[in-house]
Structure 1
């Protein structure tokens, strides 16, 4: 069997391992889905009237505005679980067992990434379904929906590789649970919940140039028909950069930890 065929076989095995883990231990998946849903309901029904008036509309307008930010927050929340699972594998001996087998080394990381991205996309699908039920009204065409889904998938891949790297660098699963936490805050410190032009100057500068803002603006523009400008190009550049750098970081850390 060729090297490529072995790599594909081993990667598919590790992907099945991660998907079975999600099925056997659904509590984490439920928790990762429920948290963004609670945030959505809180902001729409408790704060939506006031914040919606601030953006020139009411609660209905605010539902449309806030959904893209919470979608990214949902992916970032799931990334925390990925970091914990990677750290658990690294500290509980399963990697040592894998080293005794004739498997493609990178397949372990591939399994974590694909399993996490599937989990994130399912969570975002549930979130969109609930958002539609409470008043989210996108006017996107089929092509725009596909473009928005592609952007979110690319973001999920990027944030997952970063989480894998953070999990590999963490000494314990407990430490890994805290490492990706700042990622959950970035939608709040961007255009996820309020327009950046309402922020103080220093915070507005950070919000405009941090990676989550152009991604949220791209998804928002695609789904709601608002102007995107150069946000799409910037969003894709951020996702590509985070993916490549995180992959290289994760690969180097994993190789050092598993000689």
Structure 2
């Protein structure tokens, strides 16, 4: 006569923090290996931002005014920080869809039976997505240079500031992947995760200073754009790149965009990582 028993949970010795880091790295490696075997995931992820660069640069660039200038070159340099920020945040949808897919296939239940840190599954997934986002950002920067984007036209930037700008962009992207992780844990199918991820991303990215100067918006919409975390990172990137579009707004995030970007991203990570891990624990309890 056979009896059903609960899976045996084996605890591994060692510091809980180091164990969590080790488990997260294992999950991240697993996801990176899977991504490398499906190169179309990266290819399709590159197509959309490249299309935005081409469309906004050559279709809308001539009619856009930045700081009183209608120069297509000025708008091109203004635009790229917004395109970079949009690219890293749109990775949220794929992150949520991937986690929802793992849930749908029962992979999360398999991880549950292993002696591993509870937050490692989500942390590993978001770290793998961060690596993919970094690769996409590098390729997009090359494309931007090809179409005429330049940094430091006034000589007020350097390599350290440029790297810091890309670091802030990746930090924002990582923060937003935790929002995607929470969405992926909260829906039943990958399709629902993708749709729900894009629904809120579009207003966040377009009600901002990514593509136009908020000074031309109606007052209430301008205030929303100026306090948008997305706007803070885009503005911080422009400042560090020494690109056109320095804000004349007196809103604190626009006067101190680098600090605002750091604070926003850290707060988003702290809040949504806590919520996502809690959701993971309750979903697999």
Which TM-score band applies after superposition, normalised by the shorter structure? over 0.9
Matched-pair contact (CA < 8 Å) for 1:55–1:195: no
State how 1:8-27 maps to structure 2 within 5 Å. Answer: 8-27=21-40
**Contact 1:64-1:224 at 8 Å conserved across structures:** no
Aligned residues: 259
Normalized against structure 2, the TM-score is what?
0.86
**1:103 match:** 116
User: Please, which moves more after superposition, 179-188 or 93-102?
Assistant: 179-188
- How do residues 145-184 of structure 1 correspond to structure 2 at under 5 angstroms? 145-181=162-198, 182-184=200-202
The alignment yields a C-alpha RMSD, in angstroms, of 1.7
Deviation at 1:145, TM superposition (A): 1.2
Residues 157-212 of structure 1, C-alpha deviations (whole Å, 9 max, x = no match): 21111111111111211110012212244222110011000112222121111211
1:2 to 1, 8, 14: 14
Counterpart CA distance in 2 for 1:18 and 1:185 is 30
Identify unmatched segments of 5+ residues in structure 2: 1-12, 247-253
- Map of 1:187-198 to 2, 5 A cutoff? 187-198=205-216
Change (3 A) 1:75 1:225: closer
Task: Give 1:70-89 correspondences, 5 Å limit.
Answer: 70-89=83-102
CA contact (8 A) 2:118 2:277 kept: no
Match of 1:235 among 243, 248, 261: 261
Question: Where do 4+ consecutive residues of structure 1 move more than 6 Å?
Answer: none
Match of 1:142 in 2: 159
Indicate the structure with greater helix content: 1
CA distance in 1, matches of 2:15, 2:105: 29
| Residue 230 of structure 1, CA deviation | 1.2
2:220 equivalent to 1:202: yes
So what's the TM-score if we normalise by structure 1? Answer: 0.94
Number of the residue aligned with 2:232? 214
